[in-house]
Chains A and B, each alone.
Chain A
């Protein structure tokens, strides 16, 4: 399950201090105080504190004996050991995490119910049509979906829903999102909003301190809005940029964007960017493809089912390629490099990229 090979840190001459929280950042002294009062001095610091699951103050939640998040490996292992073939599981939140949790538990529990206050599943990244296809797939796979409804209060074993219904459960999973861990920077007087504020070189408002990943608030390159875009591709590219700049480079990373790719019960679902004017829409029982444009450029798409070569679309969004001269209908139906011209292909397929 390790993301990096075991030898990664040693190979790169990195000393890892695991299992100790960084308690306090002292930017004037250029020191970090860890749990256990060890002082770590730095010349350049990168804060990659990530995010933690959002746990709202549901009334009675403290009375629920089996309540879990679904963020890290420990959550998954603890959840696995709490669930058996007789368990009724209630998952609050029909986003990526809640639905991936439902898929993982499918076949291991007697009943899986997923509820969400939104009227559609994956409301943050899908539209009604795509959502309906995914919801149908979930229901076909035995998931009890309760949309436009969520828990208001709990007793152990019972959720009292907003709709007035009660749902009995043995195991509860809360998957309504994450919140950036900004305390270290905020505590040292650095700028934070919903996430740590950085410039496009990933530097925070504090001298010699950078930040990257889910703890950071960044500008969405497509919408221009500032927000937390907590997905791995953005995090990895931010981290790379921060690392180079900490070593003296002046790199810029200004291509953070929303994108998601997920498989649920054998169906693939992808989305990238934001919605805008719908310039192509194809919805059938088996899948959907929708493309959105803004200011003459592709700004987003949603696909379910066949997702082959979707990266061609993503790169149009990421690189803000003007759609002028590109037959978007043809490209939407058949993603290929055909429409980009001989010169482009010569450069990309015949050259070092």
Chain B
């Protein structure tokens, strides 16, 4: 299965992935309309310090501890893609409490926020990887 992978040595720390993610998941056609004057609601985040930077998003783990821990059944697997049914999410954030990578975030509407590989939005494949200028984020099948 194709997943998002990070090549840390190529990351420039430009944060473009966060903007592309927020835009792709906004449902808007124009990036300006989607982002201007609004908080950037992104499912990927860049961590940086000491000259190092890299992006973190859902690993779509083979044995996802978030899914096993979800108290409402909102987190589920669609052929290996860990997805969230927002209508079932009760916002307890147990997923945030258990994700070892810090890849699930408290969302703006109470429900948890996580990467779903852009499979359900207009981008069709991860916008973070598509827009990464240095191929520090790639979408591919690794074993």
Contacts and interface: CB of A to CB of B under 8 A. Distances in A.
Interface of A: 2-5, 232-233, 236-237, 240, 259-263, 268, 270, 272, 307-312, 314-315, 319, 335-338, 342, 345-346, 348-353
B100 A352 contact: no
A307 B97 contact: yes
* Residue with the highest number of chain B CB atoms closer than 10 Å, among A259, A309, A348: A309
Contacts of B29: none
A338 B13 CA distance: 13
10 contacts: A2-B73, A308-B106, A312-B100, A315-B98, A315-B100, A337-B54, A338-B49, A348-B59, A352-B143, A353-B59
Contacts of A3: 72-73
Nearest to A336: B47
Given A240-B68, A352-B3, A353-B61, A310 B97 contact: yes
Interface in B120-134: none
Interface string B100-139: 1110111000100000000000000000000000000000
* Residue with the highest number of chain A CB atoms closer than 10 Å, among B3, B54, B104: B54
A5 B73 CA distance: 9
Contacts of A240: 68
Interface in B21-61: 47-50, 52, 54-56, 59, 61
B38 to A, nearest CB: 19
Contacts of A270: 93, 96-97
Contacts of B7: 350
Contacts, number: 116
A349 B5 contact: yes
A335 B71 CA distance: 24
A209 B138 CA distance: 47
B83 to A, nearest CB: 12
A261 B56 contact: no
B14 interface: no
Given A268-B106, A337-B47, A232 B69 contact: yes
A314 B69 CA distance: 13
A11 B93 CA distance: 29
A280 to B, nearest CB: 17
* Residue with the highest number of chain A CB atoms closer than 10 Å, among B54, B56, B100: B100
Contacts of B105: 308-309
A233 B93 contact: no
Contacts of B71: 232
Contacts of B100: 311-312, 314-315, 319, 348
Contacts of B59: 348-349, 353
A350 B5 contact: yes
Contacts of A314: 97-98, 100
Nearest to B110: A263
Contacts of B110: 263
A187 B5 CA distance: 53
Contact of A345 (B54, B99, B104): B54
A353 B93 CA distance: 22
Contacts of A348: 59, 100-101
* Residue with the highest number of chain B CB atoms closer than 10 Å, among A260, A351, A353: A353
Contacts of B54: 337, 345, 349
